[in-house]
Chains A and B, each alone.
Chain A
């Protein structure tokens, strides 16, 4: 009876995870964390743990070592899941070369932010000094990403140089850091017709791979569409920006400009004086990671032992 119940819950958990990840009944696939931390999945994990524990208690005198390993594995995995649900802090933030990130700030992308009921976050400050992308030979996709950061802590005034990559996460002060994706942040300078600067700022844009288009708006009804060609394009050899300025449905400028060159439109001018690279820095502080990893390792060891015995 207990075997049937535990199998039902296992089948439920696995099916529920797959259905949600495929997005069979939702508009699109549900993110992994949303599935794992959902009511049905957490409840199922708890029921499974209770069944396994009660079954072990009944058979405690006859249980073999492999049985105990199985029970410990389940305890570690379920405890890890619940610890993670309650204590995890994770989020992603866009950071441009030269920019400093503070763990306590509020600029995390809302769709990536998760804060468990008992989540805490150590004070960490990182400055992205340089981003080095490894680009495929056709220049169309990223093959690797390496970010050189300066690390500041509240404990000491010392500054430490660290490297965070797009591969295995870096562990720092109890926090996992990883970077992914890359783009360009051009700095626009909006000027009067006479050339007097009115406004200037870096704008983070998805301009990679080269030729990708993104747009931004300031306070006026104008939309600025930008494509960036750091190595030139088929038409133009030099580094340039393809710029299109549109006021509602009226195109008021459509052409190529080099860096620092002014584009004139409607009694104004705009130029892009500098371009830096940005990446997405992912931050995870989660007390559940250790039990889950231990559970997975123990589970694998248990499988290997069973395999050898068989």
Chain B
């Protein structure tokens, strides 16, 4: 009986060890599942990332695509591509779209695992089209109140936005579909 118990326990310990060492950051994953992670610090990092994201986002538009800050822009390649594609469209017309942030407030944040986070923010931007060189206003200033759901992933120790969804200020935000985490 003693042998049976020892064999059973040895099998469990061996399986745990093999599983632990076969996954990258296995201990961090375990700590997250057990709720033993510093949630406040992670949330602070995510907020800082989103602030940097929006600062860079607006700067790119407002400067007509000045590449200073591109390396620190915490965004996936596809987002960068969409931003610069639009800037290029405006430049072809000798125009730029100016994004002026009025408010940014995070409504809720969900840490899916220790490398994935989803945050919903209420934002108000003032937008107007300007002539490229003279900065002459070509359109009235438009208030653009929106809700944005950001999908973030931690890569090489740094958070970055891998996708975001934009909703109207009064639109209901559909429930988060885990299959569609853009990861």
Question: Which chain A residues numbered 207 to 247 have a C-beta less than 8 Å away from chain B?
Answer: 211-215, 220-221, 223, 225, 227, 244, 246-247
With A25-B26, A244-B171 in contact, is A4–B3 under 8 Å at CB? yes
Q: Majority SS of interface residues in chain B?
A: helix
Chain B residues whose CB sits within 8 angstroms of the CB of A206 once the complex forms:
177, 179-180
Contact partner of B16 among A19, A214, A223, A227, CB < 8 A? A19
Shortest CB-to-CB span from B15 to chain A, Å, is: 4
A303 at the interface (CB under 8 A from B): no
Q: How far is the CA of A215 from the CA of B171 in the complex (A)?
A: 15
Q: Is the CB of A249 within 8 A of B146?
A: yes
Chain A residues whose CB sits within 8 angstroms of the CB of B14 once the complex forms:
8, 12, 15
Shortest CB-to-CB span from B59 to chain A, Å, is: 14
Shortest CB-to-CB span from A221 to chain B, Å, is: 4
B174 at the interface (CB under 8 A from A): yes
Q: Majority SS of interface residues in chain A?
A: mixed
Shortest CB-to-CB span from B111 to chain A, Å, is: 12
Q: Is the CB of B10 within 8 A of A8?
A: yes
Chain B minimum-CB-distance residue to A215: B165
Question: Which chain A residues numbered 16 to 36 have a C-beta less than 8 Å away from chain B?
Answer: 16, 19-20, 23-28
Q: Is the CB of B8 within 8 A of A11?
A: yes
Chain A residues whose CB sits within 8 angstroms of the CB of B179 once the complex forms:
206
B20 at the interface (CB under 8 A from A): yes
Q: Is the CB of A254 within 8 A of B171?
A: yes
B115 at the interface (CB under 8 A from A): yes
B70 at the interface (CB under 8 A from A): no
Q: Is the CB of A247 within 8 A of B18?
A: no
Question: Which chain B residues numbered 13 to 52 have a C-beta less than 8 Å away from chain A?
Answer: 14-16, 18-20, 22-23, 26-27, 29-30, 33
Q: How far is the CA of A89 from the CA of B157 in the complex (A)?
A: 37
Q: Is the CB of A27 within 8 A of B12?
A: no
Chain A minimum-CB-distance residue to B6: A4
Q: Is the CB of A11 within 8 A of B174?
A: no
Question: Which chain A residues numbered 102 to 136 have a C-beta less than 8 Å away from chain B?
Answer: none
Q: How far is the CA of A212 from the CA of B174 in the complex (A)?
A: 7
Q: Is the CB of B86 within 8 A of A221?
A: yes
Q: Is the CB of B20 within 8 A of A11?
A: no
B168 at the interface (CB under 8 A from A): yes
Contact partner of A249 among B22, B148, B171, CB < 8 A? B148
With A16-B15, A40-B22 in contact, is A221–B8 under 8 Å at CB? no
Give how many A residues have a beta carbon under 8 Å from the other chain's beta carbons: 42
Chain A residues whose CB sits within 8 angstroms of the CB of B113 once the complex forms:
27-28
Shortest CB-to-CB span from A111 to chain B, Å, is: 10
A173 at the interface (CB under 8 A from B): no
Chain A residues whose CB sits within 8 angstroms of the CB of B125 once the complex forms:
249
Q: Is the CB of A250 within 8 A of B144?
A: yes
A172 at the interface (CB under 8 A from B): no
Contact partner of A19 among B19, B83, B89, CB < 8 A? B19
Q: Is the CB of A244 within 8 A of B7?
A: no
Q: How far is the CA of A24 from the CA of B22 in the complex (A)?
A: 12
Q: Is the CB of A12 within 8 A of B11?
A: yes
Q: How far is the CA of A25 from the CA of B125 in the complex (A)?
A: 42
A7 at the interface (CB under 8 A from B): yes
Q: Is the CB of B168 within 8 A of A254?
A: yes
B97 at the interface (CB under 8 A from A): yes
A251 at the interface (CB under 8 A from B): yes
Q: Is the CB of B171 within 8 A of A24?
A: no
Q: Is the CB of B115 within 8 A of A27?
A: yes
* Residue with the highest number of chain A CB atoms closer than 10 Å, among B18, B165, B168: B18
Give the 8 A-B CB pairs with smallest separation, nearest first.
Answer: A11-B11, A15-B15, A25-B26, A16-B15, A12-B11, A7-B7, A221-B86, A221-B82
7 pairs, A vs B, C-beta closer than 8 Å: A11-B8, A11-B9, A11-B10, A14-B11, A27-B29, A212-B174, A244-B171
* Partner-A contacts on B (CB < 8 A): 3-4, 6-12, 14-16, 18-20, 22-23, 26-27, 29-30, 33, 57, 82-83, 85-86, 89, 97, 99, 113-116, 123, 125, 127, 144, 146, 148, 165-168, 171, 174, 177, 179-180
Known: A13-B11, A248-B57; 10 extra A-B contacts, CB below 8 A, are A5-B7, A7-B4, A11-B11, A24-B19, A24-B29, A27-B29, A206-B180, A247-B86, A249-B57, A249-B144
